[in-house]
Structure formats: structure tokens, C-alpha cells
Amino acid sequence: MSVTIEDVRRVARLARLSFTDEEEKVLVNELATILEYMEQLSEVSLVGEMDSPEPEEPQPALRPDETELPISREDALKNAPVTSGEYFEVPKVIQ
């Protein structure tokens, strides 16, 4: 398929683009190349390819739930910088 400068101007007008005369000449060749590639793609036969089932969605790798004993209060509190009895002590943030 041959592309003319008028084709380039029509596409540019539809896309609301403006090109110089030199850019239009370059675009004629580039559009012709793109259309040649598209013609090659249209010649590819997909018979048999479409008969295969859709690829399956990958399933997330889930690990089984395992129950564990909770951490003791003493073990949790021994890592805290400041405690008050059996509670964590934190700085006041609201005044």
C-alpha cells in the first residue's frame, strides 16, 4: 500500500498535529513501513492457535496455616524500652 503526502496530512489533521513539509516527507516513508509490517501480520495464520484453551491464571503460592503458641507477656515486655507494670509505656502524642 502506498502512502501519499495527502494521507499524512489527513492523519495529521485527524490527530490535530501539524508538521513541516520535511517532516511530512519523512512520515510518508515511516507510515509506509508501518503499513507493510501490518500487512505481514495480517498474513500470519492463526488457525490452530485459537483452538488451544486460554492460559490459566497463576495461583498465588499459599502456605498452610500453622498454629503457634502466643508470645508470653514477659517476653514481649522485656524488649520494650519503657514499661509500666505489665503494659508498654509510650510517649504522649496528644496534648
Give the mean model confidence (pLDDT) for residues 40-45: 85
Whichever domain contains 13, its CATH number is: 1.10.20
For 18-27, the CB contacts below 8 A with 24+ separation are: none
The answer to whether residue 46 scores a pLDDT higher than 90 is no
Confidence (pLDDT) at 52: 61
For the chain, the domain total comes to: 1
| Least confidently predicted of 9-13, 17-21, 50-54 | 50-54
- pTM, to two decimals: 0.46
Parent domain of 11: 5-42
Is residue 74 pLDDT above 70, yes or no?
yes
Is residue 28 within 8 Å of 4, Cβ to Cβ? yes
- pLDDT above 80 (res 54): no
Contact 12, 19 (CB under 8 A): yes
